[in-house]
Amino acid sequence: MNIFRLCKSLYAGSFVRLVFLFLVMTLSMQSLVVAIGLLRYHRAIDGQIHSIQNAHGVYLMQFELGEAIWDQENIQEAGEKISQLPGVREVIRTRELHVECNNESYTLLVYHEWMAKHFRPHAIRGEWVDSSDSVVISSYGAMRNVIGQKLMLTFRNGSDTVTYPITVQGVMGNTSHVLRLTRSATALSLQDLQYPAYGHLQKYMIVSETSVFYRTFRDAFQTGRNFLVLFEGEIPLQTEQALRAMGLVMDFRELDQNTEKEYELGMFYVRYLLLFSGMSLILAFGMSLSFVREKHRELAVYAICGCRRWQKKMLSSLGVILIATVSFLLQSMVICFFYKWHLYRILENAVIAPRLIGVIAGYTLLICAVSWISSDVIYGKKQLVDVLQENRK
Amino acid sequence: MIELSGIDKFYADGAEQKHVLKNICMTVSEGDFISVCGTSGCGKTTLLNILGLLDTFDSGEYIFDGQSMADLKEKEMTVFRNSHIGFVFQDFMLIQKETVFFNVALPLYFSKKAPEDLAMRVRDALEDVGLEDLQYKKVSTLSGGQKQRVAIARAIVNQPRLILADEPTGALDAKSTEQMLRLFERLNQRDRTAFVIVTHDPAVADFCKIHYDMIDGQLCLRP
């Protein structure tokens, strides 16, 4: 038996149809992922959805002190000037940021008010920070109940060491979206949001030392051009104006409005992407069933002509390999397009995403599973006689 | 050649069992030209499927050349069907997108014939049905009568001893029906191939030499 001839007969004529089918299916899957990614991108994680309607306050941004303007001495001088402004409790120029508590080391993530409003992790115990003297710690870090304990934050500020007492007020859940926030911010081209946390210090939280967080802050502080400014409560207008005059303050109003527009646009896309995804998935599934049905009819003809069960299985398997290959190529192409258009950050925000190969393999597996399941459930158990009867009808 | 005795077949019909074939007894000898007539749903196609080893039976005995078919495993059944039985269906059961040659050669692909032998046999079968000039044509471009002749060529290409035809004239006009029956008759007389034709067309039945009637799952030999 010339298996290649039979295989060619079964699948060659269907190649274009197969490509179209999987293109539809791939687009459907990808748009679903993008929709999920966008949804996560624009909403808080852990099931909390925060409106951005009220996010119009003035917030301080990180201090970008250009080297051309600020040399080491100037930085010192600027730090001194800032520390004398009303409401400023402490100005810290630091290269490393870590805290110690009960002989355990944590990385400190300074939580920006704007971030706290929109990307606040779910507090699973205790309460969210409500003063500049309180912290929440990650569930990973909270190996035992530490709510109410006093922690001593220890910073190395140049050659000095600064100790700063704070109280653990709550334990929070997943903090991974904080990382996503910094990436999302970049994706939104809001480059200035990339390190939104250490411009001023109004709220704190302690997270376990993950390499990513650690690297982010280490890199940021190693520039030696940044300050941590500890404020007492709200930032007085006078201080804000002074910092602005020094070129150290950025107004978030316009930024927030842009973000709001981005949010609305994002939600618009999410809705239509979900609609498109659902409809194309139904279309693809219908096409898939029709394809499988046709192949089963052809295999029934083969069976009448003496094709044995193992030969049928082999031919079906070759079909699945073909389907998997076509699917894999299409998935790869689509994801390449994502990268080409710098949309991969959206993918990264989706449920399944971090590793490209894993994503492609996952989709391929999913699509093949859909084909197999539809094939097996709907036609696999049918006897040859049933197929003959169907054909007669 | 074939002896069916006491064949019963049940189908599940919801919670109930439907008795489709009741105590079927039938003999098919070499060179027989048999028709099985009956109304729709009386069980004649089921009988044909059992004869062709496409379906199983629940009780009784099916002997083909002294060998019990009930003892055969699925793989053996497939091989037996491939080498001894040819099929002609009302809807042709052809691969429409393929050529006449490919369709006729299909049973030979599965019986591991050498390529030269395969080509020769296909040519002979197509000559028998008068389609030797159309061997590289796609089946989808042929008329109904021509398609049925391709199906007949496929049925005879392995030189089977029995050809089973299920309403073979159902999709044909009067002229094509006449041509097809003459072809059956010729093959029957020349090769001594036995034919069992299931039909509800009296004209087709009259063409056969032995007549059976299927009434409500029971087979009666017409005198």
Closest to B4 (Cα-Cα) out of B30, B33, B29, B26:
B26
| Rounded Cα gap, residues A85 and A94, in angstroms | 20
Our CA-based measurement puts residue A15 at a distance from the nearest CA of chain B, in whole angstroms, of 13
CA-based nearest residue in chain A for residue B113: A1
Looking at the structure, tell me whether residues A245 and A166 fall in a common domain: yes
Say if A56 falls within a structural domain: no
Q: How far apart are the first and last CA of chain B?
A: 21
Looking at the structure, tell me whether residues A170 and A265 fall in a common domain: no
Looking at the structure, tell me whether residues A100 and A241 fall in a common domain: yes
The residue-averaged pLDDT of B90-112 equals: 87
Of A207, A227, A251, the residue at which a domain comes to its end is A251
Domain span at A319: 3-45+260-392
C-beta atoms surrounding A363 within 10 Å: 23
- Per-residue pLDDT tens over the stretch A378-387: 555 555 666 6
| Ramachandran quadrant class, A58 (left: phi over 0; alpha: psi -120 to 50; beta: rest) | beta
Say if A53 falls within a structural domain: no
* Residue A370 pLDDT exceeds 80: no
A306 closest CB neighbour out of B49, B82, B95 = B82
* Residue A189 pLDDT exceeds 60: no
Token readout for A206 is: 């302690």
Of A216, A251, A286, the residue at which a domain comes to its end is A251
Looking at the structure, tell me whether residues A247 and A151 fall in a common domain: yes
When mean pLDDT is compared across A74-78, A264-268, A299-303, B26-30, the lowest value belongs to: A74-78
Number of structural domains, chain A? 2
Query: Residue A214 has what pLDDT?
Result: 32
Say if A58 falls within a structural domain: no
Looking at the structure, tell me whether residues A139 and A280 fall in a common domain: no
- Per-residue pLDDT tens over the stretch A315-350: 777 777 777 777 777 777 777 776 666 555 555 555
Report the percent of chain A where pLDDT is more than 70.
36
CB spacing of A305 vs B106 below 8 angstroms: yes
* Fold type of domain B2-221: Rossmann fold (3.40.50)
CB spacing of A306 vs B110 below 8 angstroms: yes
* Residue A177 pLDDT exceeds 50: no
Token readout for A152 is: 């001593």
Say if A319 falls within a structural domain: yes
Looking at the structure, tell me whether residues A245 and A271 fall in a common domain: no
Dihedral angle, C-alpha B138, B140, B145, B151, nearest 10 °: 70
* Residue B54 pLDDT exceeds 70: yes
Residue type, A279: M
Looking at the structure, tell me whether residues A382 and A266 fall in a common domain: yes
The residue-averaged pLDDT of B126-137 equals: 88
Looking at the structure, tell me whether residues A246 and A332 fall in a common domain: no
- Highest mean pLDDT pick, A31-35, A91-95, B182-186: B182-186
Per-domain residue ranges for chain B? 2-221
Of A360 and A324, the structure prediction assigns the larger pLDDT to A324
Partner A, chain B 91-110, Cβ-Cβ below 8 Å: 91, 93-95, 97-98, 102, 106-107, 109-110
Say if A50 falls within a structural domain: no
| Mean per-residue pLDDT of chain A | 60
Looking at the structure, tell me whether residues A98 and A198 fall in a common domain: yes
Looking at the structure, tell me whether residues A160 and A293 fall in a common domain: no
The residue-averaged pLDDT of B35-54 equals: 86
Q: State the complex-level ipTM.
A: 0.87
Looking at the structure, tell me whether residues A364 and A343 fall in a common domain: yes
